[in-house]
Amino acid sequence: MKLVIGNHNYSSWSLRAWLLLEQFGIEFNTQRIALYKEDFREQILAINPAGRVPVLQDNDLIIWDSLAITEYINEQYLDMKGWPADPALRTHARSSCAEMHSGFTDLRHEVPMNCRRFIDNFEISEAVQQDIHRICQLWTEALEKSGSNQFLYGDFSIADAFYAPVVFRFTRYGVELPKQLQAYCERMLALASMREWLCLAEAEVEVIEEEEV
């Protein structure tokens, strides 16, 4: 199985799929295509007509889009353990991922993931503040409903993979969080897989000025 990703430092969508595979100890190879380089489009279009990363290649199957990839991994490799077993928590987790997948556009555009860069006194716009507020509400609800002091819904799930880029964003842009949520971010950052991703990001040399990834 091969996962095609963008730059570790910038590609938030790639991180989601990669982290799920890593956390569940699934064997896979990675192909990295640097974003916004002259040959990015040509290379990615040869694999994925949608022209985006991440893409998963499993034998003769091509799965594109982070949500479809995580659902595929869950069905084919995780015996459905990618989502919480409890139906109410599972519904909540799925809704949280859908909300991340289709929303939080102000956060995504104004606060791009850049794992290497720490910004002091970042000025948070009103629109981004609203996104942050909603994510805090959602995380708090997840932790409280599941009674978890570990991941959002107890054991590591697709939801944690989906919000991992937000963990990098919040901690790099100095977003102040309630204690319980700060602790969640610290637990995520302490994972060997997250540390490995960060090392890979730190080893990269490309710099994208106007990140909208």
Check residue 66 for interaction with ligand GSH (CB under 6 A): yes
As separate numbers, helices (DSSP H) first and strands (DSSP E) second, the chain gives 9, 4
Q: How far apart are CA 62 and CA 52, in angstroms?
A: 12
Type of residue at 105: T
Least distance in Å: CB of 41 to ligand GSH?
A: 7
Least distance in Å: CB of 56 to ligand GSH?
A: 10
Four-residue CA torsion sign, 60, 10, 188, 125: negative
Q: Which position among 19, 54, 74, 78 is part of the footprint of ligand GSH (CB under 6 A)? A: 54
Check residue 164 for interaction with ligand GSH (CB under 6 A): no
With contacts defined by CB under 6 A, name the span among 61-69, 123-131, 137-145, 203-211 that binds ligand GSH: 61-69
Check residue 84 for interaction with ligand GSH (CB under 6 A): no
Query: 37-74 as b/e, with b when 16 or more CB fall inside 10 Å?
Result: eeeeeebbeebbeeebbbbbbbeeeebbbbbebbbbbb
Check residue 165 for interaction with ligand GSH (CB under 6 A): no
Check residue 21 for interaction with ligand GSH (CB under 6 A): no
Q: How far apart are CA 101 and CA 95, in angstroms?
A: 10
Residues that bind ligand GSH (CB under 6 A): 6, 11-14, 35, 51-54, 65-67, 213
